[in-house]
Amino acid sequence: MTCSEFVELVTAYLEGTLPADQRAAFDEHLALCPGCETYLEQFQETIDLLGELPEESLSTPGRERLLEAFAQWRRTSGGDGP
Amino acid sequence: MTGTTDVRDRADEDDLVARLRAGDEQTFAALVDGWSGWMLRLARAHVPTPSAAEEVVQDTWLAVLEGLDRFRGEASLRTWVYRILQNQAKRRGVRERRTVPFASLTPDDQGPTVDPERFQGPSEPHPGGWRRFPEEWPEHAALSREVHEVVTTALTVLPTRQRVVVTLRDLDGHTADEVCDLLGITVGNQRVLLHRGRAVVRDHLERYFTGTPTRSEVS
């Protein structure tokens, strides 16, 4: 496996979807190549950073509008119905 | 994504839907609070501004209320809400940019994800080997404001489908199977979109950490 092949297989490796022989070749390359080891680490770090992006939330007026809409919907649809 | 309103269990979900239909405002408020985060992110993957995303989420909740009596539980509530969101987002996003069907890959999804110039050519000693190893990134605080901005900017330049997949997988923590189900794509295509999107974000981080230009700036 070359480095240029290695970098294209990183997600498949992390997902655990590589066939056994490719996975063995990937692990072997990883053990021997500091450049690809760094690449894999940075790829994992990228995924970690993506996961740390803060959650967004609705604006307060937006949230209130929805709760009003719900109250309105409850009145007009008669809630649970008969 | 494991909030208190995260419904995994069928019985929980039936109960939740029943309470909504009965007009239980607390249930609705909890659901809005619990789900609007991922809904905003996903809407943002389709429309260009935060305010447009907020409108998409608002419209989605209104459509959810309107359709609640028709909800039959064939898909999970979350999947059903997601599909409504996607329709709302597309309807709005279509004015800004052409929407691409998810099922097939496009030229955006092909070719190497790392600049081929960084690897040795066929006449060099190690064809396909790094010319120079990627530079180590400096130690950095988990998610500083600046790094946050680099990652957010990288997400905005991704082709829509890659951005949606990265958002679902890496920001919201959905599994590959869930994403395939939500988007109606194959496992293989999901992986391609995810890998390409992540590689672009890594490229932006590399440029930020090491001061090297990104591919798009070089070409």
B129-153 mean pLDDT: 88
- Bridge partners of B130, per DSSP, are B119
Contact across the interface for B37 and A71, Cβ inside 8 Å:
no
Does the pLDDT at position B219 exceed 60? no
Predicted pLDDT at B141: 62
Q: Is A54 helix (H, G, I), strand (E, B) or coil?
A: coil
| CB burial readout A26-65, b (16+ within 10 A) else e | beebbeebebbbbbbebbeebbebbeebeebebeeebbee
Predicted pLDDT at B9: 67
Predicted pLDDT at B96: 55
Predicted pLDDT at B2: 39
Contact across the interface for A65 and B127, Cβ inside 8 Å:
no
Q: Which residue from B36, B116, B198 is facing A43, i.e. has the nearest CB?
A: B198
Predicted pLDDT at B130: 97
Decide: B37 and A55 in contact? Cβ < 8 Å.
yes
Q: Which residue from B58, B127, B152 is facing A53, i.e. has the nearest CB?
A: B152
Q: Which residues lie below 8 Å from residue B81, measured CB to CB, with a gap of 6+?
A: B35, B39, B60, B64
Collect all residues of chain B within an 8 Å Cβ-Cβ radius of residue A65.
58
Task: Tell me which amino acid residue B63 is.
Answer: A
Q: Give the model's confidence band at B3: pLDDT under 50 very low, under 70 low, under 90 confident, else very high.
A: very low
Q: How confident is the model over B23-75, as pLDDT tens digits? A: 999 999 999 999 998 899 888 777 877 888 899 999 999 999 999 988 988 88
Predicted pLDDT at B7: 52
Q: How confident is the model over A20-64, as pLDDT tens digits? A: 999 999 999 999 999 999 999 999 999 999 999 888 889 999 999
Tell me which range, A54-58, A77-81, B110-114, B129-133, is most confidently predicted by mean pLDDT.
B129-133
Predicted pLDDT at B125: 94
Decide: A6 and B166 in contact? Cβ < 8 Å.
no
Return the closest-CA partner of residue B92 out of B150, B45, B142: B45
A-B Cβ pairs (cutoff 8 Å, strict): 144
Contact across the interface for A56 and B136, Cβ inside 8 Å:
no
Collect all residues of chain B within an 8 Å Cβ-Cβ radius of residue A42.
134, 137, 202, 205-206
Q: Is residue A12 less than 8 Å (CB to CB) from chain B? A: yes
Predicted pLDDT at A82: 41
SS3 readout for B7-55: CCCHHHHHHHHHHHHCCCHHHHHHHHHHHHHHHHHHHHHHCCCHHHHHH
